Structures are given as C-alpha cells and as structure tokens.
Amino acid sequence: MTAAPSIPLALSALVFVALAVLDWRRLPGWSRIHLGVATAFALAAVAHPGMTIKDVVDQAHDGIAYLAAVARMAGVVAALVTVATRVREHAVGR
C-alpha cells in the first residue's frame, strides 16, 4: 500500500486552479506556480486519461511523465507555502 492518493490528474489540475484563484491577490507569484502545475497536470491528463500522478510517473516513459514529476514537486512546495502563509496570517490576526 502506498501513501499517494489515487486522485486522477484532471481532478488534481482543478485543485491547483482553485489554489491559484484563492491566492491570486495575496501571493501572485505562487499563484502562477499553481497555474503552471495545473497546466502540467492537465496536459498529462490529456495524454494519459484516467491515470493518477503516480501512474504517469511510474508507468509512462515520455516527456509528459518528466513534466508531471517536476510539477508534482513544485505543486507540493507551492501548496505548503500556501498553507504556511494562511496559518501565519491566522496566527498574526490579519
């Protein structure tokens, strides 16, 4: 059993679009990273329909797999920055 969730790439792309919309005014640079990740996931979803991020990275041996792997790393970092800034703002009381 793996720790990676079984979320289809198209749904992952929608999650990152939502994060970009939520942070657009607060963190415009990180929002653009969210959009880049969403775009990479959407391209991978078109190239490999029905697959998860893990499936594409493990099974596909094309350029989209490498793009999805880099986007996955960038997405984790960007999501952590979003969560950390939200927690900080809540703690400070902005």
The pTM score is 0.86
Please work out, in degrees rounded to the nearest 5, the angle formed at the alpha carbon of residue 56 by the alpha carbons of 66 and 12.
Answer: 95
pLDDT digits (tens, 9 = 90+) for 35-88: 999 999 999 999 999 889 998 988 878 889 999 999 999 999 999 999 999 999
The answer to whether the beta carbons of residues 20 and 38 sit under 8 Å apart is: yes
Crossing angle of helices 9-23 and 63-92, in 10° steps, is 40
Can you count the helices (H) and strands (E) in the chain?
4, 0
pLDDT digits (tens, 9 = 90+) for 15-39: 999 999 999 998 999 999 999 999 9
Contacts of 41 (CB under 8 A, 6+ apart): 9, 10, 12, 13, 16, 53, 68, 71, 75
